[in-house]
Amino acid sequence: MANIFDIAGSGMAAQSQRLNLVASNLANADSTSGPDGEAYRAQNPVFSALLQQAQSGNGSTNAGVAVTAVVADQSPLPVRYDPGHPHANEAGYVEMSNVNAMAEMANMMSASRSYQSNIEVMNTSKQLMLRTLQIGR
């Protein structure tokens, strides 16, 4: 039964990291230059399913989900004509961030719902365990 809590906990941790990336993307949506001198690129998590035999040898398995990487969105950076901007090139164009605020909001809602679903799994499992204990009374 403890595996259920481990699985749901790993899902909550992964969705929490996803929400942090969405917040970072939205915060940098209007950035034109980062520390490397280029416009900010949206960051996206890469999830992996985990299923490994436990080292104890008792046949139990560890399962869940993990964020294995964070990758930058490689879609082209939009450009805007603004010759007075300090980051404008010789032709007067400024590279803007490729963050799509609407897509990020949808991503945030999806991550939030997934997080809530994992909480419901934990609560339901806890209630079932408590009811199982009460059977013997």
pLDDT tens digits in sequence order for the chain, 137 residues long: 668 888 999 999 999 999 999 999 999 998 888 777 788 999 999 999 887 654 445 555 678 898 999 999 999 999 999 999 888 889 999 999 999 999 999 999 999 999 999 999 999 999 998 898 888 77
d(Cα 62, Cα 67) in Å, to the nearest integer? 16
The amino acid present at 110, given as its one-letter code, is: S
Instruction: Find, among 8, 116, 2, the residue nearest to 61 by Cα.
Output: 2
CA-nearest of 15, 14, 4, 19 to 123 is: 4
Element (H, E) at 134: helix 101-135
Q: Global pTM?
A: 0.82
| Domains of the chain by residue range | 2-135
